[in-house]
């Protein structure tokens, strides 16, 4: 019977080597995975079985080295690829592993198949790290601009459980949902932003070009300008003569704001204020509720411990106020409180969220419940985005129409005043 020499990773991240007697290579891979190992390399060997291996005995295992910390910084640490390319890489790697390839072979195939230069460089770096003896999750952690901590920790959980292909497919689903959520929010804000920009340009053109022509014409006719026109004229003089003051004020405001948010208290206060802005704050909150629930459910579903999962969802919060609150939640969980009770104490999530989470904790279906909560708040987010995207354009249009109307009224007032003076002027 053919013999296959293999290298794999065990649940602790150590390297394992051995020899299997199997009818074919696919059976060898299944036997390795049944021991909760992640196969790295499998080669057919010639010759008889090693003397130490008896018929029916489990394959010999040799721990080569313990799990090591990541290697020193390399040039590839600054490598970055588009989000879409990361999804393609993850999905194709999962399919190749499911088809029976080892991790070593799958990365070698992807290095040749994926034509984008940066993706090839990334894949080559990961492949070389495996050859050097590092685990796949360690190799991923050496590319922090491509693979976030959530990705690395889920892969580490997959290595420990021997279910790496399934973990990668769940990662693809999670990343796709996160990207779709982010795209929906951004697309809803494109049209209002365009309207605001167009209105600002229109008003600027009126004040900058129309007012000087009107002033010159009135100077020739000797007519007196009405009050609205004089106010508009002063605005024009302020814009054209003291624009640099406005520029300095904007620069000073930007510098002051950046200095404020660099401090711990200033950043926490600003992030808290963002959550309270009418409309915008609601979208931000619902987006975080769904992101928190989806990420926590995915992590728990794949065997990541609760405290480590809390650390990861804290890291991806993107809001210092929320990070501070979640730190308090983590301390309460360490002291023995349930997660739902700790969140309820901090008033961080709505009652519906924590009540559903408490049901999941009591029934033992926590991961499934968190995914259901994520679905609920994604629907709430969609409704909030739809309402805001429908309200903002007419509000902006009304504001722009009001500003343009004031400018036009000021101009027409001067025209009517000039016409009236010409009518009463003696011939």
**Of the candidate ranges 285-289, 387-391, 421-425, the one whose mean pLDDT is the lowest:** 421-425
Q: Is the pLDDT of residue 60 over 90?
A: no
Please state, in angstroms and rounded to a whole number, the distance separating the CA atoms of residues 28 and 404. Answer: 76
Burial of 272 (0-12, 13-18, 19+ CB in 10 A): middle
Give the model's confidence band at 73: pLDDT under 50 very low, under 70 low, under 90 confident, else very high: very low
Question: In degrees rounded to 5, what are phi and psi of residue 6?
Answer: -130, 155
Quick one: pLDDT at residue 66?
37
The predicted model gives 62-69 an average pLDDT of: 37
User: Would you state the pLDDT for residue 54?
Assistant: 36
The pLDDT of residue 70 = 41
**Is the pLDDT score of 218 beyond 80?**
no
pLDDT value at 360 more than 80: yes
Instruction: Confirm if 268 and 277 have CB atoms less than 8 A apart.
Output: no
In the sheet that holds 38-45, the strands lie side by side as 38-45, 3-9, 15-21, 62-63
Look at residue 222 in the predicted model and tell me its pLDDT: 58
Which tokens hold the place of 20? 């299997």
Phi then psi dihedrals of residue 21, to 5 deg: -100, 110
Q: Determine the 3-state secondary structure of 38 from DSSP.
A: strand
pLDDT at 256: 92
User: What is the chain's mean pLDDT, rounded?
Assistant: 78
Residue 334 or 160, more confident: 334
Kindly indicate the confidence band of residue 394, based on its pLDDT and cuts at 50, 70 and 90.
confident
- Asked whether residue 48 carries a pLDDT value surpassing 50, the answer given is no
Output the pLDDT for position 323: 87
Higher pLDDT, 357 or 56: 357
- Is a pLDDT exceeding 80 seen at residue 223? no
- Collapsing DSSP states into helix, strand and coil, what is residue 310? helix
Most confident option among 206-220, 226-240, 256-270: 256-270
Do residues 275 and 251 make contact, with C-beta atoms less than 8 angstroms apart?
A: no
Domain extent listing, the chain: 3-53, 75-176, 188-427
Assess whether pLDDT exceeds 50 at residue 141. Answer: yes
- Note the pLDDT tens digit of each residue in 246-300: 889 999 999 999 998 888 889 899 989 988 888 778 888 888 888 888 888 887 8
Highest mean pLDDT among 23-32, 104-113, 145-154: 104-113
- 165 pLDDT more than 90: no
Indicate whether 47 pLDDT > 60.
no
233 touches 225 (CB < 8 A): yes
What DSSP line would sit under 31-86, residue for residue?
Answer: HHHHTT-EEEEEEEE-SPPPTTPPTTPPPP-EE-----PPPSP-GGGG----HHHH
Look at residue 425 and tell me whether its pLDDT is greater than 60. no
Rounded to the nearest 10 degrees, how much is the dihedral formed by the CA atoms of 318, 324, 329, 334? 110
Q: Helix or strand or coil: residue 39?
A: strand
188-427 shares the fold of 75-176: yes
Computed from CA positions of residues 22, 26, 29, 33, in that sequence, does the dihedral angle turn out positive or negative? negative
The CATH number for 188-427, chosen from 1.10.10.2840, 1.20.81.30, 1.10.3720.10, 3.10.180.10, is 1.20.81.30
Residue 64: predicted pLDDT: 34
Mention the CATH class of domain 75-176: mainly alpha
């Amino acid at each position: 019977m053919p013999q296959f020499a293999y290298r794999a990773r065990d649940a602790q991240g150590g390297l394992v080597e051995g020899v299997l007697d199997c009818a074919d290579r696919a059976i060898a891979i299944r036997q390795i995975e049944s021991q909760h190992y992640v196969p790295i390399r499998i080669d057919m060997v010639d010759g008889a079985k090693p003397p130490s291996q008896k018929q029916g005995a489990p394959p010999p295992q040799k721990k080569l080295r313990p799990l090591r910390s990541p290697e020193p910084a390399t040039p590839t640490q600054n490598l970055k690829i588009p989000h879409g390319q990361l999804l393609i890489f993850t999905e194709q790697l999962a399919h190749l592993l499911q088809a029976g390839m080892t991790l070593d072979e799958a990365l070698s195939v992807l290095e040749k198949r994926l034509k984008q230069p940066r993706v090839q460089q990334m894949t080559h770096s990961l492949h070389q790290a495996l050859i050097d003896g590092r685990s796949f999750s360690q190799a991923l952690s050496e590319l922090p601009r491509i693979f976030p901590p959530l990705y690395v920790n889920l892969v580490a959980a997959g290595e420990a459980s021997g279910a790496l292909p399934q973990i990668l497919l769940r990662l693809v689903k999670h990343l796709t949902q996160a990207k779709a959520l982010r795209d929906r929010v951004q697309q809803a804000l494109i049209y209002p932003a365009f309207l605001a920009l167009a209105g600002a340009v229109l008003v600027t053109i009126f004040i900058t070009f129309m007012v000087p022509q009107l002033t010159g014409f009135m100077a020739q006719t000797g007519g007196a300008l009405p009050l609205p026109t004089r106010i508009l004229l002063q605005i024009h003089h302020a814009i054209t003569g003291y624009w640099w003051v406005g520029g300095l004020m904007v620069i000073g405001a930007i510098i002051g704001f950046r200095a404020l948010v660099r401090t711990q208290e200033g950043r926490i206060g600003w992030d808290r204020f963002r959550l309270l802005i009418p409309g915008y704050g609601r979208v931000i909150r619902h987006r975080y509720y769904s992101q928190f629930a989806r990420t926590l459910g995915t992590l728990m579903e794949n065997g990541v411990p609760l405290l480590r999962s809390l650390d990861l969802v804290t890291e991806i919060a993107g809001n210092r106020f929320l990070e501070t609150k979640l730190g308090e939640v983590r301390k309460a969980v360490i002291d023995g409180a349930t997660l739902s009770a700790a969140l309820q104490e901090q008033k961080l999530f709505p009652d519906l969220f924590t009540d559903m989470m408490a049901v999941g904790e009591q029934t033992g279906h926590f991961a499934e419940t968190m995914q259901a909560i994520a679905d609920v708040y994604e629907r709430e987010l969609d409704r909030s985005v739809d309402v805001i995207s429908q309200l903002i354009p007419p509000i902006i249009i009304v504001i722009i129409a009001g500003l343009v109307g004031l400018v036009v009224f000021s101009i027409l007032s001067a025209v009517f005043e000039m016409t009236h003076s010409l009518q009463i002027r003696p011939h």
